[in-house]
Chain A
């Protein structure tokens, strides 16, 4: 199935090549040679494609979406130049997560918690028990794994956000974790052609004064919402992002679902303040540096 598209693309390239050759050479004889070559190539391509097609037992099997494969990049001039309504706000700026502004929602956690499914509940309780014993529990971010969404949004380093007409790029200074939120009208990328990621596949659109972002296709390995609460490949986040206080505060309501790990919607609202007097610096998580920090060495952690 997945080989059909390249085959068709190959045919298309051959056709374009034939047209170009025809225009340059402007010769009937040479044109006929090219056509003969084209016929041979098409026959060869068909010979490759037919066995693949005939090998399919389910004719209705999902195919890669042409709209995604043909999607112009967010930075392509063609895409950037498309006429679009003026967005209600511009998120461009450095945003700082503030524990003081988030005392009512769990700060780095997301309280109140949803009703956890048994396996997730057991992990969560093991994390709570470890904390009472002074141990970090599967603190993968401390061991240099990506925090991923949503945790990458609540690190106490600046979140550098750049808004373009087609895309919003957020770079968290800590480990330079990046999320790309596409706002150019494209659908989610087909997981057949885009692998899972820690930031997820994020698609945004405007509704009134709110930016709605839906993120799917997350990588669940070493990926936690908060201590002891894992995610599955069914994890999904819908965010409602607003600017408040004359643009000085960014507010983001997370609606998180994961039917494997908890019941219903897990809703939590976080806030950031605009932090103009800052730029990002390099902040990699390096194993040799980590090894001599008391908080991240092996003795302080349950892995």
Chain B
């Protein structure tokens, strides 16, 4: 199953350009940011799934990051489920960062603690 998910992720890492509920000009499509932290909240909601995580720096300071993704159906289509991640889980998130440097991004993929990779959805998968 894990291999299947990885295969799905490999084939479905596509541009997340068409969230369409709002403008996406604030995200830098040419960059990716990777952060690892503890999930504060996983909102399996429409119009957008979102993940809030707390990232602890080496000096001990913490930063809350906000990642937004596609709709529930779009995420379900590429393997996500309501229970894919839970508050308290340690995850690594990859996303297109806000241009203004604040701790927020458009989700590209999530790497779970067991190594499972779940890509975000976009475009045709709404």
Q: Within 8 Å CB of A227, what residues of B?
A: 23
Given A289-B50, A300-B26, A295:B106 Cβ within 8 A = yes
Q: Which of B28, B67, B102, B126 has the most CB of A within 10 A?
A: B126
Chain B residue at minimal CB-CB distance from A108: B20
CB-based contact B47/A285 at 8 Å: yes
Given A134-B99, A281-B46, A289-B45, A294:B22 Cβ within 8 A = no
CB-based contact A299/B102 at 8 Å: yes
Q: Within 8 Å CB of B126, what residues of A?
A: 96, 156-158
Q: Within 8 Å CB of A96, what residues of B?
A: 124, 126
The answer for the CA separation of A142 and B18 in the assembled complex, in Å, is 13
Residue in contact with B24 in the complex, picked from A98, A157, A278, A295, CB distance below 8 Å: A295
**Nearest CB in chain B: distance from A99 CB, A:** 5
Interface size on B, residues (CB 8 A): 35
Binds A, one of B2-10, B68-76, B81-89, B112-120: B68-76
The answer for the CA separation of A158 and B17 in the assembled complex, in Å, is 17
Q: Within 8 Å CB of A222, what residues of B?
A: none
Q: Within 8 Å CB of B47, what residues of A?
A: 157, 174-175, 283, 285
**Nearest CB in chain A: distance from B89 CB, A:** 18
Q: Taking the complex as formed, is B52 at the interface, i.e. its CB lies under 8 A from any CB of chain A?
A: yes
Chain B residue at minimal CB-CB distance from A137: B23
CB-based contact B20/A300 at 8 Å: no
The answer for the CA separation of A134 and B100 in the assembled complex, in Å, is 7
- A-side interface mostly: loop
CB-based contact B25/A131 at 8 Å: yes
Q: Taking the complex as formed, is A141 at the interface, i.e. its CB lies under 8 A from any CB of chain B?
A: yes
B-contact bits for A252-290, CB 8 A (1 contact / 0 none): 000000000000000000000000001001111100010
Q: Taking the complex as formed, is B48 at the interface, i.e. its CB lies under 8 A from any CB of chain A?
A: yes
Q: Taking the complex as formed, is A293 at the interface, i.e. its CB lies under 8 A from any CB of chain B?
A: yes
Q: Within 8 Å CB of A141, what residues of B?
A: 21-22
B-contact bits for A154-170, CB 8 A (1 contact / 0 none): 11111000000000000
CB-based contact A281/B21 at 8 Å: no
Given A142-B21, A156-B126, A285-B21, A295:B26 Cβ within 8 A = yes
Residue in contact with A284 in the complex, picked from B46, B72, B105, CB distance below 8 Å: B46
Chain A residue at minimal CB-CB distance from B24: A295
6 extra interchain contacts, Cβ-Cβ under 8 A, other than A155-B21, A296-B21? A134-B25, A134-B100, A281-B72, A282-B46, A283-B71, A289-B45
Chain A residue at minimal CB-CB distance from B46: A283
CB-based contact B27/A295 at 8 Å: yes
Given A99-B17, A157-B20, A293:B25 Cβ within 8 A = no
A-contact bits for B51-94, CB 8 A (1 contact / 0 none): 01000000000000011100111000000000000000000000
Q: Within 8 Å CB of A149, what residues of B?
A: none
- 22 A-B residue pairs with Cβ-Cβ distance under 8 Å, sorted by A, are A96-B126, A108-B20, A134-B99, A136-B22, A137-B23, A139-B23, A141-B22, A155-B20, A156-B20, A157-B47, A174-B20, A278-B73, A281-B46, A285-B47, A289-B48, A292-B66, A293-B66, A294-B26, A294-B66, A296-B21, A300-B26, A300-B100
Q: Taking the complex as formed, is B19 at the interface, i.e. its CB lies under 8 A from any CB of chain A?
A: yes
CB-based contact A142/B17 at 8 Å: no
**Nearest CB in chain A: distance from B13 CB, A:** 17
Q: Taking the complex as formed, is A76 at the interface, i.e. its CB lies under 8 A from any CB of chain B?
A: no
Residue in contact with B98 in the complex, picked from A99, A142, A175, A294, CB distance below 8 Å: A294
B-contact bits for A175-218, CB 8 A (1 contact / 0 none): 10000000000000000000000000000000000000000000
Question: What 9 A-B pairs come out closest when comparing CB atoms?
Answer: A294-B104, A142-B22, A134-B99, A136-B23, A283-B46, A300-B26, A156-B20, A156-B126, A131-B25
The answer for the CA separation of A293 and B98 in the assembled complex, in Å, is 11
Q: Taking the complex as formed, is A26 at the interface, i.e. its CB lies under 8 A from any CB of chain B?
A: no
CB-based contact A100/B124 at 8 Å: yes
